[in-house]
Amino acid sequence: MSLEQLPSLRDSLAAAGLMAKKSFGQHFLLDLNVTRKIVRLADLAPGETVIEVGPGPGGLTRALLEAGLRVVAVEKDARFLPILGELAAASDGRLTVVEADALALDPAALPASAPIVANLPYNVATPLLVGWLTGPLRTRSMTLMFQKEVAERIAAAPGSKDYGRLSVLVQAVCEARAVMDLPARAFTPPPKVASAVVRLDPRPARPPDAVLAALQKVTAAAFGQRRKMLRSSLAALGGEALCARTGLDPTLRAEAVTVAQYLALARTLT
Ligand code: SAM
> What pLDDT tens digit does each residue of the chain (270 aa) get?
889 899 999 999 998 888 899 999 999 999 999 999 999 999 999 999 999 999 999 999 999 999 999 999 999 999 999 999 999 999 999 999 999 999 999 998 999 899 999 999 999 999 999 999 999 999 999 999 999 999 999 999 999 999 999 999 999 999 999 999 999 999 999 999 999 999 999 999 999 999 999 999 999 999 999 999 999 999 999 999 999 999 999 999 999 999 999 999 999 999
CATH code for position 217: 1.10.8.100
How many domains does the chain divide into?
2
The dihedral through the CA atoms of 251, 253, 256, 262 has a sign that is positive
CA-CA-CA-CA dihedral for 72, 78, 80, 84, to nearest 10? 40
Predicted local distance difference test score (pLDDT) of residue 1: 81
Predicted local distance difference test score (pLDDT) of residue 165: 98
Together in a domain, 194 and 167: yes
Together in a domain, 164 and 82: yes
CATH code for position 167: 3.40.50.150
- Give the distance (Å) from ligand 1 centre to CA of residue 101: 10
Together in a domain, 183 and 49: yes
As a whole number of angstroms, the distance between CA 160 and CA 152 comes to: 10
Predicted local distance difference test score (pLDDT) of residue 127: 97
The DSSP code for 258 is -
Together in a domain, 147 and 224: no
- Of 202, 225, 247, the residue that ends a domain is 202
Domain span including residue 216: 209-269
Predicted local distance difference test score (pLDDT) of residue 147: 97
- Give the distance (Å) from ligand 1 centre to CA of residue 92: 23
Together in a domain, 164 and 213: no
Together in a domain, 70 and 92: yes
- Give the distance (Å) from ligand 1 centre to CA of residue 21: 10
DSSP 27-90: -B---HHHHHHHHHHH---TT-EEEEE--TTSHHHHHHHHTT-EEEEEES-GGGHHHHHHHHHT
- Give the distance (Å) from ligand 1 centre to CA of residue 131: 17
Residues in the chain: 270
Adjacent-strand bridge partners of 196:
146, 181
- Of 202, 227, 254, the residue that ends a domain is 202
Pocket test for ligand 1, best of 32, 37, 53 (most atoms within 8 A of CB): 53
Together in a domain, 169 and 224: no
Q: How many CB atoms lie within 10 A of CB 153?
A: 20
Q: Is 101 in the pocket of ligand 1 (CB under 6 A)?
A: yes
Predicted local distance difference test score (pLDDT) of residue 112: 87
| Residue with CA closest to ligand 1 atom 1 | 55
Together in a domain, 117 and 236: no
